[in-house]
Structure formats: C-alpha cells, structure tokens
Amino acid sequence: MLAQEAGARPCFGSHCDPGLARSTCGLDVVGAMSTLGSMTKKAESTHAAEAAVAAHYGMLLGIQSPWQVKRVELKLEAKRVDVELGHDASAAVACPECGRACPRYDHAPERQWRHLDVMQFMTVIRARVPRCQCPEHGVVTATVPWAEPHGRFTLMFEAFAVAVIEAARSFVQAMEILRLDWHTIQEIVERAVERGLLRRSTDEVRQVGMDEKNFGRGQDYVSVMTDLTGRRVLDVVKDRNTASGLKLWESLPPEQRQQVEAVAIDMSAEFAAAAKQAAPQAAIVYDRFHVSKHLNEAVDKVRRDEHRRLLEVGDESLTGSKYLWLQGACPEGDRALDFSELCERNLKTARAWCHKETFVEFWAQPDAISAQAFFRKWFGAARRSKLEPIKKTALTLQSHLQGLLNFFLHPITNAISEGFNSKIQAIKADARGFRRFENYRYRILFHCGKLDLLPVIR
C-alpha cells in the first residue's frame, strides 16, 4: 500500500526518521504490519491445524516418540494420503541386531509403506529410517515399529490383508478389495504361512494321516500330512512315493515324530514304508474309506464283466445300474424295485455287492479279537465266491490285516483329510492350475493349516 493513499499511516522503520509524521519511504508501514499480523495469525492457525492433523494421524497410527508425524499431505487427484514420519534427531537409535542404544550415523533413503486406507483414500507412510553406528555390528539400519524389516506394508495393513484373503471367495476378490496385484497377494500369503510355521507347535500331535491329492491335470499327485486330532494340514509335498512320504514326516521335529502313536494311510506300500522308517513306533492303520474304495472297485469290475456278457445275449438288466451297486444300503424310492429285482436274480454283481456290504460289519466289531474272527469268516466266503475281483481284494485285505485290526486300538481314518478336499479343490479352481507347486502348498497351508498368520502389531 502506498503512503500517498488516503488514511496512510507513518512508517516506523529504521530507514525512516521516527520523528516525522509521514514516512520518507512512502510505505504505509502500519497497514503492512496489520497485514503481516493477520498473515502471521493465519500462518499460526494453519500451523496449528497442521499440527492437529499430524497429532491426529500420530494417534491413528499409534506412533510414539522418538517417531513423530512430520507432515500429512492429501493428494486429492490420486486419492491418496501421504504421512511423513520423522525420527527425533536427539534420540539414540537402537541397533536392530543387539538392541544397544547407539549414536545416529545417518539416514537411509526414503521408503514407503502402504497403510490401511482412510475413507476411500489410500494411505502411505513415508520415512527416512535412521542408521546407527553400533560398536559391534557397524552401520546398520534401525527397525521401525510399524512394519517388518523389508516389508512394503505396515503391520496393520498386512494383518488386514491376511484377514481379507482368508475371507475372500477368491484371489481376484481379495485383489479387488485390497487394490493389489496377484503377486503381491501371493507374497502376503507366503509371509503369513512362514510366520505361522515358525510359531506352530506340534507338541500335541499323536495321530496323523497321510493321503494323496490330485494336483493339476492328469496323473500329477501331491501328498498331504494331516494332524488328525488338531484337524489341520501339517504339510504338502510333491509326488506320492516313499521319498515324498519321508519328506512329509520332516514337518515334525525328530523327537516329535517318535511321539506319534498312529498313522492313517491307504493300502499302498509307499506311505507304509515311509511311516516305518520315520516313526517305527507308530501303528499303521489302514483307512476304512480306502478299504471300501477297493471293495467298490472289485464290485464294479464284476459288474462291467457281467454286463458285457449279458449284452452279448441281448440282456440289458445291468444297464445304468453302476451307481446302485456302489452305494451302501439298498436304495430307496424309484430305484428300490429295480435293485431288489436285480438282487433276486442270481447275478454275479449282486453276490459281489453282498460281499462288499458284509464287510461293513467288520468295522462295527467290539474289539480286535472279534474283528479277526469276523475277518476269517468273511475271507473264507470271499475266497469261495468264484468272483475273481472279490477274491483278489480279499487277499489284499488279508495281507494288510494287522493294519486293519489296528483300527480297534486307534480308531482313526483319513476322513478329515477328505474333508479338506473341497477346500483344496476350491484353491485349485481359484488358481486355474498352479504353475508353481510352492504356490499351491502355501495356499493349502494358509487355508487349511490352522496357522497363526497375523503379524504382531507392536
């Protein structure tokens, strides 16, 4: 404002004579001072507002001394809030290796961590982390309380992401909610599983199950070990052979392996060989559902053979009857009549079905002695049946009899493992075929391992 204007007030600056009523420089100093005053007030109030916002964010983030919020920047276009943190210059820096309070050396270049969104705004924390000079460990970068070393997310975000991935129907849904790409989600899953495995206790594991699962297309299999009491997957390895069976046992520490009392497996030799080698004290229990699968296959072989012979003479009695013979009890409803008619005709398939169904009573015996007596009778009848597939299956069962009788001391099955099938199928379908087996393993352990997956929020 120029002094010549009406109402001009004198300048009292050092460059003007204070005795003069009017300033010699022509400036309206009083007006300028008033403007300056209001600017100062405005600046003060802006500063106070900024300090309040910083304090507010400090509380939201749980940031404590020597860290503090330096600045909060709202980027409307990018829908993002940047929170800049600073470390108190006078505070000592703790060595991440030994915890000793050391003098500050310098600062590492600025890093960023994604934090929980505020409203619809992505929140990013930025900071230059101090490096300290430790007499023992040299110049090292301090750890920050809000993130894991080398993490790109704050602990709170990581915990939220784990919860979202656990609850989401698919990876794609988790990607949409978290606004992250596939690889980042997979990395969060891997870190969570590694965290969970480090914390996992297997002290209580006494009964385990070993089972195979189809992986990918065709004949690719993976082997899965489950803790039958804890109802959780212990590990997943590639292939299904003795070596993979042994690898599964490594999911338990050596001293823990010796505490396992029983293992449920199917009747193939590989898992039995692995169990005998890794945990020789554990009783092998052949899984009853696999036994009934063998018997069902025998009945089906008899049916296929008989059906072919009947068709040769124009008899279509067995057409469409495959699933009638695979079920346990006599069917109800529309098919009941068909089934009883088929049973009344002295069909080989009906006889094979009777042998299979009679064996169900084996599992209902009160103890191993009664079960052995029952088996002897059943085996005799099956061997006299003149039905080759039934005779062959009877021999298989006889050669595995001890493992069948062990059921009466350790009544365990792999039903839990079968129960995981739907979850594992969903994981497989979601990934549309895993290119890397490791990804598949991590995902199964993430969803079926009952692991403590969350980071510890300090």
- Closest CB 145 distance from Zn ion, rounded Å: 18
Task: Specify the DSSP class assigned to residue 452.
Answer: -
Task: Examine residue 302 and tell whether it contacts Zn ion (CB under 5 A).
Answer: no
With contact defined as beta carbons under 8 Å apart, do 205 and 194 qualify?
no
Q: Which of residues 130-169 bind Zn ion (CB under 5 A)?
A: 134, 136-137
- Closest CB 87 distance from Zn ion, rounded Å: 18
CA dihedral sign of residues 342, 344, 348, 353: positive
Of 133 and 256, the one with the shorter C-beta distance to Zn ion is 133
Of 106 and 203, the one with the shorter C-beta distance to Zn ion is 106
- Closest CB 134 distance from Zn ion, rounded Å: 3
Q: What is the dihedral of CA 17, 18, 19, 20, to 10 degrees?
A: 60
Q: What is the dihedral of CA 425, 426, 429, 431, to 10 degrees?
A: -110
* Cα gap 257→41, rounded to integer Å: 73
Of 134 and 233, the one with the shorter C-beta distance to Zn ion is 134
With contact defined as beta carbons under 8 Å apart, do 196 and 452 qualify?
yes
Of 110 and 136, the one with the shorter C-beta distance to Zn ion is 136
Of 137 and 391, the one with the shorter C-beta distance to Zn ion is 137
Of 98 and 395, the one with the shorter C-beta distance to Zn ion is 98
CB contact set of 99 (below 8 Å; sequence gap of 6+): none
Residue whose CB is nearest to Zn ion in the complex, by number: 95
Of 93 and 278, the one with the shorter C-beta distance to Zn ion is 93
- Closest CB 135 distance from Zn ion, rounded Å: 7
With contact defined as beta carbons under 8 Å apart, do 430 and 447 qualify?
no
With contact defined as beta carbons under 8 Å apart, do 274 and 245 qualify?
yes
Q: How many helices (H) and strands (E) does the chain have?
A: 17, 14
- Closest CB 140 distance from Zn ion, rounded Å: 7
- Closest CB 242 distance from Zn ion, rounded Å: 47
- Closest CB 103 distance from Zn ion, rounded Å: 12
CA dihedral sign of residues 86, 89, 94, 96: positive
* Cα gap 195→184, rounded to integer Å: 16
| Nearest Cα residue to 397 out of 297, 281, 260 | 297
* Cα gap 457→23, rounded to integer Å: 65
Q: Which of residues 78-117 bind Zn ion (CB under 5 A)?
A: 95, 97-98
Burial label for 440, CB within 10 Å (0-12, 13-18, 19+), is: buried
Of 43 and 98, the one with the shorter C-beta distance to Zn ion is 98
Of 143 and 317, the one with the shorter C-beta distance to Zn ion is 143
Of 95 and 127, the one with the shorter C-beta distance to Zn ion is 95
* Cα gap 200→28, rounded to integer Å: 77
- Closest CB 139 distance from Zn ion, rounded Å: 10
- Closest CB 143 distance from Zn ion, rounded Å: 12
Q: Which of residues 319-348 bind Zn ion (CB under 5 A)?
A: none
Number of neighbouring beta carbons within 10 Å of residue 263 = 30
Among the listed ranges 12-20, 129-137, 171-179, 362-370, the one in contact with Zn ion (CB under 5 A) is 129-137
- Closest CB 98 distance from Zn ion, rounded Å: 3
Q: How many residues touch Zn ion (CB under 5 A)?
A: 6
In the complex, which residues of this chain contact Zn ion (CB under 5 A)?
95, 97-98, 134, 136-137
